[in-house]
Amino acid sequence: MTTAADPTPRQPSPLPLRTLGDIRAALRDGHGFPGDRDNFEAALTRALEASDETDLQAVAEVIVDYRGRIRLRSDPAFEAALAEGLELTRTMKGRS
C-alpha cells in the first residue's frame, strides 16, 4: 500500500497487449509512434497475404514488433533517454 509519505513513485500499469484487438486499440488510442497505426495495418496485411495456412510466423513477427513499439513508447523513461541521446549527439557533433 502506498501512502502519502511513501517516496516510491507508482509506475503506470502496462497496457494489456495480449491480443490483436489489444494492439489495435492501443494504436487507435495514440500509443506507439507517429504513423504506427497505419503502418501496423499495412504490415499485417502484407504478412497475412504472404503466409500460408500452416505458417503464420510473419504475422506473429509483426504483432510482436508493434507490441514492443507500443511498450517502448509507453515507457516513462523513454522520453528522458531520447533527450539524453540527442544531447549527447549534439555534444559530439560540436567537438568535430
Average pLDDT over the chain reads 87
Tell me, yes or no, if the pTM score tops 0.95.
no
In angstroms, what CA-CA distances link 68 with 5, 8, 29, 80?
A: 34, 26, 16, 18
Q: What is the pLDDT of residue 4?
A: 52
Cβ contacts of 43 within 8 Å, gap of 6 or more: 62, 65, 66
Confidence of residue 14 (pLDDT cuts 50, 70, 90): confident
What would the mean pLDDT of 59-83 be, rounded to a whole number?
92
Q: How far apart are the first and last CA of the chain?
A: 52
- Degrees, nearest 5: CA angle 30-31-36: 85
Q: Answer whether residue 49 shows pLDDT above 70.
A: yes
For residues 69 and 13, the answer to whether their CB atoms sit within 8 Å is no
Which of 26, 49, 29, 28 is closest to 38 using CA atoms? Answer: 28
